[in-house]
Amino acid sequence: MKVTRITSHVLSYDMPEPLGYSQQYYAKRSAHLVEVETDEGVTGWGECFGPGNVALANKAIVEGVIQPMVLGLDPMDRDVIWHKVYNLLRDHGQKGMPLQSLSGVDIALWDIAGKATGQPIAKLIGGAHRDSVGVYGYGMMLRPEPVEDLAARFVDEAAAIKAAGFQATKMKIGMGPRDDVRLAEAVRRGVGEGFDFMADANHAYTTSDAFYVGRALDELGCYWFEEPVAPEDLDGYKELRAGLRTNIAGGEAEFNRWGWRGLLESRGLDIAQPEVCALGGISEYLRVLALCHAHFTPVVNHVWGSGIAVAANLQLLAAMPPLPGGLHPREPWLEFDTTDNKFRDKLLQEPLNIQQQVRTSGGTVAIPMGPGLGVAPDRDVIQRYKIA
């Protein structure tokens, strides 16, 4: 079997309302799918992390840079292909967009391997430790409105996520330390006591401001404080972990095993959040997962994207061994964005229907057991929303 073509599909649509996080507001939802075709008619699908113009730049890397390196190679030689591409791109970037682009291609190669062997990716990795996984509902995005109005909205939105059956919820912060405390208090009121909530700052703070917010999160019983400081600030992560009771989480902006080695050795994380569509794909994710577990750091994957990204993460969560193990280990969660996302809900030929499953199954979702990713996109939906 040989790779004959690699195609990027960049999709976009206008969202019902602008949403934001600590770095920006955005009015469009986008996705970057990667299609790898072979001479035996087996096609694999992957996804590259990165919105908007980043997706357009990654498309140029996938089709113009990576594709010529891969054409004619056996798609089953995933590790050979990964290292060939990485080694040839090393002089041009060991992180960022080259790795995001390689991620989409690598995920598609794993999808091909599963289809060629008739096995789900979890089985190729080594087997499924679970056939379903718990889900936390991610919402409470920032909006361009006064903090009093935003806090009132967060109370209602957090309560609705809990009522929908999710096992926990996560909010955005980044409005400023004092306003963020007000927003976190609103979410605690919305979910009540005894329900896990998490706060994501998207690296908005200096260490001192992160401590101000973090001490309030301690009092509110927040489960984790995500990306409190810049991903480069390893000392800041370490200081926060030592000084707060709330778990410190991060890693979505880290790439490949070499970047993760430094992050883990700094001992600044309680919870690791690798992003498979960015760090180098499934092949590299498995090496990063092994590093995390070698450092006794639990993993809760970062998940952001279309139904392809969600399906890839479900396969990885199925195959993830418990850490540290025991009769009642804390199981991993699937991150689920509860805001409008047609590329998750409408893209697949057979939708995952995660929200429906959560409502009826105690906050869990089943792992797709078909070959490869276990899902396939609807080409009519791709054509309807494709911009490049």
Catalytic residues: 302
Q: Determine the 3-state secondary structure of 105 from DSSP.
A: helix
Structure tokens at 335: 């991150």
- Residue 318 φ/ψ, nearest 5 degrees: -65, -40
What CA–CA distance (Å, rounded) separates 279 from 259? Answer: 9
What CA–CA distance (Å, rounded) separates 3 from 380? Answer: 24
What CA–CA distance (Å, rounded) separates 275 from 250? Answer: 10
What CA–CA distance (Å, rounded) separates 154 from 122? Answer: 36
Question: If you search the block for the tokens 């993460």, which residue do you land on?
Answer: 313
**CB under 8 Å to 217, separation ≥6 — which residues?**
184, 199, 225, 244, 246
What CA–CA distance (Å, rounded) separates 249 from 262? Answer: 15
What CA–CA distance (Å, rounded) separates 360 from 187? Answer: 24
What CA–CA distance (Å, rounded) separates 55 from 281? Answer: 16
Nearest to 318 by CA among 130, 111, 123: 130
Structure tokens at 6: 């690699």
